[in-house]
Amino acid sequence: MTGLTPERGTETSGPEVLFARRGHLGIITLNRPKAVNALTAGMVAAMLEQLTAWADDDGVATVLVHGAGERGLCAGGDIVAIYRDLLTGGTQTADFWATEYRLNSVIARYPKPYVAFMDGLVLGGGVGISAHGSYRVVTERTRTGMPETTIGFVPDVGGTFLLARSPGEAGTHAALTGAHLTGADALFLGLADHHVPGDSLPELAAALESESAEAAVVRFARPSPPSTLAGQRAWIDEAYASDDAEDIVRRLRDVAGAVAAEASEAADTIEAKSPTAVKVALASLRRARDLTLDAALAQEYRVGLRFLAAPDFREGIRAQVVDKDRTPLWKPATLHEVRPADVDRFFEPLGDRELTLQPKETDHV
């Protein structure tokens, strides 16, 4: 969306993701615009390899990631590919997540400024390749979030780590409802740092070729519009203070006054999601409060593999992405039917399948 195109002869990977050098700037272009740059296994592997090489390259002082096309940085992982893998009982999704989470970890501890243009749609996996960076730029066009409960899954790519550290219970609200958020909301949640007008992104990218990331981003940054989510914090903090999903829904329905309709709508939204995903997402967030990023990613991998074997993930993708009938049949069908023991099983150790992230360094907290 920035108008950037890699210079001829500078690409070092296939067409799904492109790499270029301009001045002292390394540029990553996600290049699947028709799919809103949804991430594939090949893309995350190529990004991991290139970032590793650039980390030791004295000619690269700053890295920029942006998306091709006019729709956004990245709409998440390639859900259709995951669905096909689920139908055949394959292992490709587990392998994809392992590489993707390693990429998220590398971005978080990258030794050079990592600038992400979070313009347009930035969902799920798109958050993972941007919100762990050191300079996270949103625009007036940003629409971001972690909508995984809609497809019978839970926030991953370090999303539980990030949202568990958002102000008050705003991150819990975002995770359970799967709401699409504005750039201002992303700033409030701690998913981004700077607001830059969308039309200024090409100029900012050009400045990054020769200026420091700090100087360039600060020079182009402008005040953000107010965050709707920040304005809802009073009732959100009160309603989501519980560690029990059913209690949260009851609290939302008990909210009175001028904001009662907003709270009731949130309750309706949560009850339409996968009950298993809602309860596991809530437990994941609560557990992530005391974890490093790498530990949270390992927990998300553990939970994710369990969802591959559970019915709701496949059913959610079918209803939302494949058949698009928007009428998933969740099993169990209600929050009440999901027992604490059912939730606990998602967090049980994987034995020799546990995700190990190397090298072991202190994560950004």
Hey, which residues are catalytic here?
Answer: 77, 125, 148, 156
| 335: DSSP letter | G
CB-based contacts of 137, cutoff 8 Å, min separation 6: 115, 116, 117, 118, 119, 192, 193, 194, 195, 196, 201, 204, 217, 221
For strands 17-22 and 25-30, give the pairing: antiparallel
Tokens 């009851």 sit on residue: 250
Provide the 8-state DSSP code for 248: H
> What count of other Cβ atoms lies within 10 Å of the Cβ of residue 37?
31
DSSP string, 144-168: EE--GGGGT----TTHHHHHTTSST
195-205 burial string, b = 16+ CB within 10 Å, else e? Answer: bbebebbebbb
Sequence-distant (≥ 6) Cβ neighbours of residue 314 within 8 angstroms? 83, 86, 87, 152
Q: Look at residue 266 and give its three-state secondary structure.
A: helix
Q: Are 41 and 98 within 8 A, CB to CB?
A: no
Residue 321 is classified by DSSP as I
